[in-house]
Structure 1
Amino acid sequence: MSAHVQIQGGNLKTEVSQPSENLLCVEITDKGIDPALAAGYKSKFAVRQKSFEMKMTSERIQTTNQIYLVETDTEIIDLKDGSNNSAGTMIII
């Protein structure tokens, strides 16, 4: 199952698969925004906000693992284009 959503200034793709009976895989790919536009948003606040969001997400996953007695792994991949420029982020859960 997959979904592709295009939002003004961004592009988000979600794929859900079940590789085995007891395993669910969710891939979220965010192509981000135009690099020139992103440069205008760079600030210390943005870096702190991203770090805070990652910490909160990690804590939520840990809580879910404890409540449901499951093991959830996450992988965050910075996507690059052919010129090694940032091309978005992929998160695999």
Structure 2
Amino acid sequence: MQPTEMTVGDLIKRLSACDPASPLRLAMNPFFPMAHRLEQVIEATDGTGRPVVYLAEGRDADTQLGHLPPEVAVALAWQGPVQVPPRRPRRSARPASGQ
């Protein structure tokens, strides 16, 4: 079974539910999640002649914005939720032996 690809129509439908003034970001690399600015939309054809649309980041040095927010990586199932470890009771200081 061939994996299903998101179509331009699927993307438009999903984006239509979002605030149109919101910046658009690209989440990349599940093993080292980073956020990138999108700058270009390119229409082309694949090796079989089918039309394909590419979303591309810009060329500027500040196109990569840094690490993806943890809640986004969790929502993408790229990492599990991180839970704060339980707190252990603090040990009390004991005087050194011989004092």
- Measured against the shorter chain, the TM-score band is under 0.3
Structure with the bigger RCO (C-alpha within 8 Å, sep 6+) is 1
Larger Cα Rg: Structure 1 or Structure 2? Answer: 2
With normalisation by structure 2, the TM-score equals: 0.24
More helix by share: 1
